[in-house]
């Protein structure tokens, strides 16, 4: 049962099937938010209170508009594999497709009247000194320029390192690693999920590029 004093965020999530997506779903549901995962396969996630699935390509603005209608905020994990409508099913979208997805998000959110966007990807290449990432610097700059020229309240977040294959059940009791060797990844991803959820509540980094450090990490 929801606490009547708890502000509920109706959150749309692209990239829900990734490890960070699982951490975000677990943390958002823990805070009693409503989570809508946008998927190609609507049966890919087991039913849970507060969680539902919808379809709609991330790469077409009109489909984004329909998918996000009525929500409070959108989180998109650009570096997740198998994003809905991806031109490369089951794989991480190439840099050009990530630009296309960002354009569709910005246009679709504006059409739907939604301002809040958290975009997560390999944006450490924008840092000083830059990190080596799979996203070329000029592509990251193009994505950032698209956000800056939009009226959206966006936050650009560096994607954390992650172990593959972590599901939402791994984050239900994040204090205890369910499998040997996963404790560090669980803490890191949980920390980033907490940071993103806090940002949606506090709005401390609007129109900024940030990195959320996982729990027990430094630097």
Spatial contact of 135 and 95, defined as CB atoms under 8 Å apart = yes
Distance, CA of 35 to CA of 40 (rounded, Å): 16
- Measured CA to CA, the distance from residue 34 to residue 2 in angstroms comes to 11
Distance CA 159, CA 78 (A): 9
pLDDT tens across 193-214, in order? 999 999 999 999 999 999 997 6
* pLDDT tens, residue by residue, 23-44: 999 999 999 999 999 999 999 9
pLDDT of residue 6 exceeding 70, the answer is no
Please determine, for residue 217, whether its predicted confidence score (pLDDT) is greater than 50: no
The whole-model pTM stands at: 0.93
DSSP H helical ranges for 38-87: 61-68
Tokens of 121: 């990807």
Q: What per-residue string of b and e applies to 78-102 under the rule 16 or more CB within 10 Å gives b?
A: bbbbbbbbbeeeeebbebebbbbbb
Dihedral angle computed from the Cα positions of residues 209, 38, 70 and 198, in that order, rounded to the nearest 10 degrees: -40
Q: Residue 181 CB: number of other CB atoms within 10 A?
A: 8
CB 11 within 8 A of CB 68: no
**Residues 58, 64 contacting (CB under 8 angstroms):** yes
Does domain 10-210 fall under CATH 3.30.360.10? My reply is no
Strands (E), the chain: 10-14, 34-38, 51-54, 73-77, 116-121, 153-158, 208-210
Residue 3 has pLDDT above 90, yes or no: no
Handedness of CA 93, 99, 102, 107 (dihedral sign): negative
pLDDT average, residue stretch 67-88: 96
pLDDT higher than 80, residue 2: no
Domain boundaries, the chain: 10-210
pLDDT tens digits, one per residue of 164-187: 889 999 998 765 545 667 888 899
Among the listed residues 135, 132, 65, 138, the one whose alpha carbon sits nearest the alpha carbon of residue 93 = 135
Q: What is the DSSP string of 13-30?
A: EE-TTSHHHHHHHHHHHH
- What the block records as the tokens of 70 is 């009525």
Q: What pLDDT does 129 receive?
A: 86
């Amino acid at each position: 049962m929801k606490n009547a004093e708890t502000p509920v965020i109706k959150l749309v999530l692209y990239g829900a099937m990734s490890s960070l997506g699982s951490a975000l779903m677990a943390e958002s549901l823990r805070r009693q938010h409503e989570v809508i995962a946008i998927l190609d396969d609507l049966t890919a996630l087991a039913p849970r209170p507060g969680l539902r699935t919808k379809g709609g390509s991330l790469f077409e603005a009109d489909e984004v508009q329909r998918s996000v209608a009525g929500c409070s905020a959108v989180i998109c994990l650009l570096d997740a594999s198998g994003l809905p409508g991806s031109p490369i099913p089951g794989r991480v979208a190439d840099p050009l497709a990530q630009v296309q997805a960002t354009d569709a998000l910005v246009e679709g959110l504006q059409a739907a009247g939604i301002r809040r966007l958290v975009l997560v990807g390999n944006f450490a290449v924008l840092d000083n000194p830059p990190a080596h990432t799979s996203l070329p610097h000029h592509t990251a700059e193009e994505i950032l320029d698209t956000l800056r020229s939009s009226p959206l309240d966006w936050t650009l977040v560096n994607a954390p390192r992650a172990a593959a294959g972590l599901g939402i059940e791994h984050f239900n009791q994040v204090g205890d690693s369910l499998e040997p060797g996963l404790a560090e990844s669980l803490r890191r991803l949980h920390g980033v999920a907490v940071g993103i959820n806090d940002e949606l509540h506090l709005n401390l980094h609007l129109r900024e590029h940030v990195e959320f450090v996982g729990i027990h990490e430094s630097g």
